[in-house]
Amino acid sequence: MNSKWIVSGFLSAAVWMFAGPVLADDLPFKEGPVTDVTSVRTKPGKFFEYWAFLAKDFKADMDEAKKQGVIVSYSVQAVTPRTPHDPDLYLVVTYPNMAALDTVNEKMNAIAKKLRSTTPQQEDKASGDRESIREILGDQLIRELQFK
């Protein structure tokens, strides 16, 4: 009786495995680029210090990532915080697709090494050091759905 359930399970899995691509073709949209939005709150009196980092290292990294095709686009968006716990900046980075995120750390580490001769550990420490001038409130991934 156990083997009967196992065979049924495999048959069911096979049906779904082959039906999945067919069902995807029936969707009224296609999945597009993926945007990572990082919410940042700069510490009081530290906005221009953080901007100096963004204008130097962040911009250099993003320009190189765009040149290499790792990202599609990037921007920094200013926002008026509604409360003391809201962000005042959004770092917006768009990737070609969700699969691009699978190797993004390795590619961005290689870019940092190329541009600044730093290791991932040094980059991590530098990020932690920036806690004195800003706080990362969170990240959100947004996938574009495109009309067919």
Q: For the residues 51-78, what does the mean pLDDT come to?
A: 98
Whether 98 maps to a domain, the answer reads: yes
Q: Residue 73: is its pLDDT beyond 80?
A: yes
How many other C-beta atoms are found inside a 10 Å radius of the C-beta of residue 40? 19
Residue 6 lies in a domain: no
The number of folded domains in the chain is 1
Cα distance between residue 148 and residue 134, in whole Å? 41
17 inside domain: no
The answer to whether position 11 is within a domain reads no
Tens-place pLDDT, residues 87-140: 999 999 999 999 999 999 999 999 999 999 999 999 988 888 999 999 999 999
Helices 104-116 and 120-129, interaxial angle, to 10°? 90
Q: Specify if 80 maps to a domain.
A: yes
Specify if 96 maps to a domain.
yes
**How much is the pLDDT for 75?**
98
Q: What's the pLDDT tens digit per position in 5-47?
A: 554 554 455 555 555 555 567 899 999 999 999 999 999 999 9
Query: Residue 57: inside a domain, yes or no?
Result: yes
Domain of 124, in residue numbers? 29-147
Residue 56: per-residue pLDDT:
96
Q: What is the pLDDT of residue 22?
A: 55
Among 54, 42, 39, 38, smallest CA distance to 133 is for 42
Q: What is the CATH number of the domain that holds 67?
A: 3.30.70.100
Three-class SS string for 35-63? EEEEEEEECCCCHHHHHHHHHHHHHHHHH
Q: Do the domain assignments include residue 19?
A: no
Residue 65 sits at the vertex; the CA angle it makes with 78 and 89, to the nearest 5 degrees, is 10
Tokens linked to 69:
């095709």
